[in-house]
Structure 1
Amino acid sequence: MLRRTGAIGTLITLLTALLLTPAALAVDRLTRPAAAAAGCGVLAPGASAAAERAVDAACAQVAAGVWYTWGGGHGPQPGPTYGHVDPTDPASEHDPERLGFDCSGLVRHAYARATGADILDGDASAQYYTHRTAARFTAAEGLAPLRPGDLLAWGTSAHLHHVALYLGEGRMVEARQSGTRLMVSDVRLGGDYFGAVRVDTGTVEGPVVRTWGTGVWTKAQPSTRAARVYAFPGPTTVRVACQKHAEVVTAEGYTNDAWSYLPDYRAWVTNIYIQGPAWLDGVPACAT
């Protein structure tokens, strides 16, 4: 009797295995997080809940096989859009036919899904220099201080051309280039890797103002002769720590000696290019 039951049990097991292959197993694969199969996910501890949600949102796009498209993800609302032809890249020929993201479009989407707000609208430079900065890391610091969800950037201080989301364990999720789908890669620390920034998804502390004009350079010191740090390509929301009277500047029909210090850029900008009065209301004078 025991032998017969054992034989029946074995038969049932074999039949179950046959029934589960391949259709049932295909359903099982669909119900599991497909991103995990791609090695995409939070791979280290220490990230905020919002940063982990951003990683999950980006990895969901990897799992869905979404394409890189030049200019993708920069519509009126976060999310995939059809791309454009990059005149410098023949591989972008089919980008207008593909619904997807470029590098900053993916980051924008990920943090919008994580926070419920469009907090990282803009290109790679605008995202790296966001006024929502919790911490900033130089290339020389490597990966040791980083946490999942941190933004990795490549380029120069004047032009950052690529951004990706850190996963942990030396891995990142990115929209890399035309002709490829969103992917998980090893972090490329060589070449023009610039550094990383941790996004503050909470309430921004300190006065927040908006610049105007195009190609407005910030400076290492409150002087037009000081080294350039970063140029705002257009009107940009920035956080101001303090302001001071320094070099007199005449530009755009205005003359002013007030300069504001922008802590997220570690740089100064003349108040001429900040919307508001010549001396900003509610912004303290710099102590030094």
Structure 2
Amino acid sequence: MLRRTGLIGTLIGLLAVLLWTPSTAAATTTPAATAVRTSAADGECAVLAPGASAAAERAIAAACAQVAADVWYTWGGGHGPQPGATYGQVDPTDPASEHDPERLGFDCSGLVRYAFAKATGSDMLNGVASAQYYTHRAAERFTADQGLAPLLPGDLLAWGTSQKLHHIAIYLGAGKMVEAKQSGTKLMVSDVRLNGGYYGAVRVDTGPVTGHVFQTWGTGVWTKAEPSTKAARVYAFPHSTTVRVKCQKHAEPVTAEGYTNDAWSYLPDYKAWVTNIYIKGPAWLEGVPTCT
């Protein structure tokens, strides 16, 4: 039979073991709590797959903070002098946008612009959806036929045609994206829509710009599938645009804007050609190799 003092000591020892066990369990589960999630509850906004760059994760965090703040979609929103929410405009093609001038928020490209500016400290994606998709900062591009398999969180998804891209969103992983979808709605997390005009995706390189970078001039300047005025149209620059030139060659002579030139430049981000007349610089661009 245990003496009274022995019984008390035994009880204290058992109590210590019980108190120690939960803290050990908590310590062993901490890494799992901080791991990247690979699935999402309805409406959850987060990085949902591994492999994203630190800048892409910060861009997603910035966009998701706006979702959490219940910010409105507003047509034209986010395109002020600096990245950030602005009051929108009435879209004459969308009756649901009548209240957009009263709503502080973002449209699709305004949200992308803001997210990457917050992530990098640089207003690197200041433009509409097409300008963002065709950015000269592209690290890699993906076609619609490739689906979602090669994508990483932070990649930009685009809808429309090569001539007119009308929507853009940020991929989260696990088949989800964060987007400013349409008037009358708040910023949201959605399933990626691979039908209905999905065009492809681009991975943004947030580091130093590589390649031969130039500025175009003029408005409504069409790029072409081949270095010829008779070739199929690919995309029209709405205004002066920063472009990356891979190479140049002598081809069909073009006369425009009081100039005549037979030099054409290949733009890898557009997979298209443009006459050198509309690229700021000499008729034959310095430092750019000849296409072979």
The TM tier, using the shorter chain, reads 0.7 to 0.9
Could you say which residue in structure 1 is the equivalent of 2:246? 241
Distance in 2, Cα, partners of 1:87 & 1:177: 13
Query: Could you tell me which amino acid in structure 2 is paired with residue 247 of structure 1?
Result: E
- Choose which of 168, 171, 186 in structure 2 pairs with 1:163: 168
Q: Is the 8 A contact 2:250 2:263 kept in 1?
A: yes
* Identical pairs, percent: 81
Query: Could you tell me which amino acid in structure 1 is paired with residue 227 of structure 2?
Result: P
Deviation at 1:38, TM superposition (A): 4.0
Could you say which residue in structure 2 is the equivalent of 1:140? 145
Deviation at 1:217, TM superposition (A): 0.8
Q: Which consecutive residues of structure 1, in runs of 5 or more, have no partner in the other structure?
A: 3-34
Deviation at 1:36, TM superposition (A): 8.6
Q: Is the 8 A contact 1:241 1:284 kept in 2?
A: yes
Could you say which residue in structure 2 is the equivalent of 1:177? 182
Q: Indicate the RMSD between aligned Cα atoms, in angstroms.
A: 1.4
Distance in 2, Cα, partners of 1:225 & 1:200: 34
Could you say which residue in structure 2 is the equivalent of 1:215? 220
Is 2:113 aligned against 1:113? no
Distance in 2, Cα, partners of 1:210 & 1:224: 21
Q: Is the 8 A contact 2:160 2:199 kept in 1?
A: yes
Q: Which consecutive residues of structure 2, in runs of 5 or more, have no partner in the other structure?
A: 1-7, 9-39
Residue aligned with 1:77, SS: coil
- Choose which of 240, 257, 262 in structure 2 pairs with 1:257: 262
Query: Could you tell me which amino acid in structure 1 is paired with residue 112 of structure 2?
Result: V
Please list the CA deviations of residues 25-57 of structure 1 after superposition, one character each: whole Å capped at 9, or x if unmatched: xxxxxxxxxx99841010000111111111111
Q: Is the 8 A contact 1:38 1:63 kept in 2?
A: no
Q: Is the 8 A contact 1:43 1:169 kept in 2?
A: yes
Could you say which residue in structure 2 is the equivalent of 1:43? 48
Could you say which residue in structure 1 is the equivalent of 2:16? none
- Choose which of 163, 171, 187 in structure 1 pairs with 2:192: 187
Please list the CA deviations of residues 121-172 of structure 1 after superposition, one character each: whole Å capped at 9, or x if unmatched: 1100000000010111111110000000000000011000000000000000
Could you say which residue in structure 2 is the equivalent of 1:62? 67
Is 2:79 aligned against 1:74? yes
- Choose which of 96, 103, 113 in structure 2 pairs with 1:98: 103
Query: Could you tell me which amino acid in structure 2 is paired with residue 273 of structure 1?
Result: Y
Distance in 1, Cα, partners of 2:42 & 2:170: 18
Query: Could you tell me which amino acid in structure 2 is paired with residue 176 of structure 1?
Result: K
Deviation at 1:72, TM superposition (A): 0.1
Query: Could you tell me which amino acid in structure 2 is paired with residue 155 of structure 1?
Result: G
The TM-score normalised by the length of structure 1 is 0.86
Task: Give the total of aligned pairs.
Answer: 254
Please list the CA deviations of residues 234-282 of structure 1 after superposition, one character each: whole Å capped at 9, or x if unmatched: 1000011111111100111110001111111111100000011111122
Distance in 1, Cα, partners of 2:285 & 2:145: 36
Is 2:185 aligned against 1:149? no
The TM-score normalised by the length of structure 2 is 0.85
Q: Is the 8 A contact 2:43 2:190 kept in 1?
A: no
Deviating above 6 A after TM superposition, structure 1's stretches of 4 or more consecutive aligned residues are none
